[in-house]
Amino acid sequence: MVYPIYTELTECRDCYKCVRACPVKAIQVKDGRAVVVKDRCVFCGRCVDTCTSHAKKIRDDVERVKQCMRSKRQVFASIAPSYAAEFPEQADAFLAALPLLGFSAISETALGAALVSAAIDRYAQDHEGRCPWISTACPSVVELVGKYYPKLVPNLSPIPSPLQCHSILLRQLYGEDITIVFIGPCIAKKVEADTTPGFPDFALTFRELRNWLSDESISLDTLQQELSEGNRLIPELIPARAGESTLYPVEGGMIASLKMGKDVFQASGVAISGAGAVMATLDDLPESSLLPDSPVVFSDFLELLTCEGGCINGPAVVQRRSSAVRKSTSTRFTRKRLASVQPVYQPDPALVDRLLDKGYALLSMPGRFSVYPSATMVPGGRQRSFSDEDIARALFELGKNDPSDELNCGGCGYNSCRDMAVAYLDGMAEPEMCVTKMRKQAQSKIDVLLRTLPMGVVIVDRDLRIVDCNAEFLHMFGDIDYAVEGEIIDLISGLPLQRFVPFYQEFSQHFGDNPGAVAYRLHYKEKFLQVTFFTVENHRLVGAIFQDITTPTVRRETVVKHAEAVIQKSLETVQQIASLLGENAAETEIMLNSLIEAFKVTSGQAPEGFLPDDDQRPVR
């Protein structure tokens, strides 16, 4: 079984945006690729939202649902109340499309939310208006508490989530043989389908549903037009429509649907959304502080949602709108429901009692096995603890030799260099993730290469200002006859190339598209230099290597002079014995002239300037 969030490795490389986005740093980087670690993931979907290369994928369960439909089983759609925010102009068309896809019936997940609210109200009524629970409406919060705050697990609400309660209701009303498919904005709901199979059986995101509609060539715009013209009817919601519990997907909506929420000050409940704010809240709670016998009792009900603003901003929504627009849309949707003359669902008191009495025990079904244990059954997940010595060693390996080196830039995805060092020790990060370390390492390699080359090297920008050079270049063109240290070379950076070489304009001809390295021969101040131009960055940086080839060139000129002397002497001999050796002398002259031509630079003198290097073809 593929987990709800996975990485397409071929599309992931050297990014780390998901590491920055992940609130629990459940991303392991190996060989430059970021992989979700399932045992640490809370399935909030932030990495999916953040990944610009779409390497983070959501498991597609549409084919599994289709297969269930082909088996002739009744398939019920449990639709999240946030569908009103996802399809603000096409909400009725969305309902009308579901039977066309093969769903037998449609019901609202908010019915389960109404059961949860009724159970909380009943508990608070019996406990002086207090209910010191952490809501389980958000499965990502349940994963977060189970994996990172295991000692707070006893304070999670004993009432199953709204989706699970809705599944219990549907099975009670329509039998155990039905298949229940959740449709909403949440990836973590797939975890509920995997860990408590049957409650529901499958979970689809709005994104999956839109793709399915597209594959079936079903247009919501067309359906909406048909509905407005009276050519199609809106499917009935079973067993009834939900009321104020449709506010659940909005931050504070759950508390607003409770009796304690009717207090204008909401003194008995606190609503928090956003993974960072949720974790800060849990961090601020002393261990087991919610327990009744704790000396520090936090008696408020905590409505915690990992998505900022609530489920209306879930990771699998498609239509990106502001929180204000989504919230107002959801609020108007609920108000319209409550103002309608049509009745809304009223929780069955007997079922509410069962939920309070049995809780999660109602989710066990014979013959059904979870894909993997729930978070509440697997406490732990935090990073291992490391000593200060271990962390100091890791920082040193990351190039942080001194506290001043710890820039805490966040380029690696971690909040601080120390956090990065801990992740490195924990096997979750690689040294190459540190941008500062890699930049220093690259610069160090360049510096060593430039400083140790026995040839002069200079790199210039488009303004023909020196970006970098080495000591040999300064010895050749700077009239410097003493040892040059690195600090002096650093001072050269930014100076005009014109101060050092008179032929600086020659560099301007090499700022086009990279032609490869091009070699020339230059006679400059009684020296012969081989000059090789190369492009560092197209249209931005050009470099040149200067190699002193004076010694072999002088040798060549000497050969030319000796060859000319031999020719002169041979000609004198020819004049004396021309009648006897004329033909032989002519051939000798031809050979010697060829030798001269092979070694001559010009006709006797080497001019200043660039000449094509006949001994070395241009390097392409």
- Top-ranked range on mean pLDDT: pick from 13-27, 207-221, 511-525, 552-566: 207-221
Cβ atoms of 134 and 156 within 8 Å: the answer is yes
310: confidence class by pLDDT, cuts 50, 70, 90: very high
Residues 6+ apart with CB under 8 A from 599: 556, 557, 559, 560, 563
Structure tokens at 351: 């079922």
**pTM for this prediction:** 0.75
pLDDT mean over 109-126: 96
pLDDT tops 60 at residue 377: no
Task: Give 383-446's CATH code, choosing from 1.10.15, 3.40.630, 1.10.3470, 3.30.70.
Answer: 1.10.15
pLDDT of 276: 94
- Per DSSP, 134 falls in state B
Per CATH, the architecture of 453-620 is what? Answer: 2-Layer Sandwich (3.30)
CATH number corresponding to 1-59: 3.30.70.20
pLDDT of 491: 84
pLDDT of 265: 67
pLDDT of 620: 38
Distance CA 90, CA 84 (A): 8
Q: State the angle between helix axes of 62-70 and 206-215 in degrees (0 to 180), rounded to the nearest 10.
A: 60
204: left (phi over 0), alpha (psi -120 to 50) or beta: beta
Question: What mean pLDDT value characterizes the chain?
Answer: 85
Residues 6+ apart with CB under 8 A from 462: 511, 539, 540
More confident residue, 382 or 18: 18
- Per DSSP, 246 falls in state G
pLDDT tops 90 at residue 7: yes
Cα end-to-end span (Å), the chain: 52
Read off the amino acid at residue 567. Answer: I
pLDDT tops 80 at residue 612: no
382: confidence class by pLDDT, cuts 50, 70, 90: low
Tens digits of residue pLDDT in 55-93: 999 999 999 999 999 998 899 999 999 999 999 999 999
451: confidence class by pLDDT, cuts 50, 70, 90: confident
Tens digits of residue pLDDT in 151-179: 899 899 999 999 999 999 999 999 999 99
Q: Nearest-5° angle of CA 408, CA 491, CA 540?
A: 75
pLDDT of 44: 95
Residues 6+ apart with CB under 8 A from 579: none
More confident residue, 295 or 141: 141
Annotated domain spans of the chain: 1-59, 60-377, 383-446, 453-620
Residues 6+ apart with CB under 8 A from 93: 87, 220, 221, 223, 224, 227
Tens digits of residue pLDDT in 311-364: 999 999 886 788 899 999 999 999 999 898 889 999 999 999 999 999 999 997
pLDDT of 519: 86
Distance CA 96, CA 174 (A): 21
* Proportion of the chain above pLDDT 90, given as a percent: 54
379: confidence class by pLDDT, cuts 50, 70, 90: very low
pLDDT tops 50 at residue 373: no
Q: Quickly list DSSP for 54-100.
A: --EEEPP-HHHHHHHHHTT--EEEEE-TTHHHHSTTTHHHHHHHHHH
76: left (phi over 0), alpha (psi -120 to 50) or beta: beta
587: confidence class by pLDDT, cuts 50, 70, 90: low
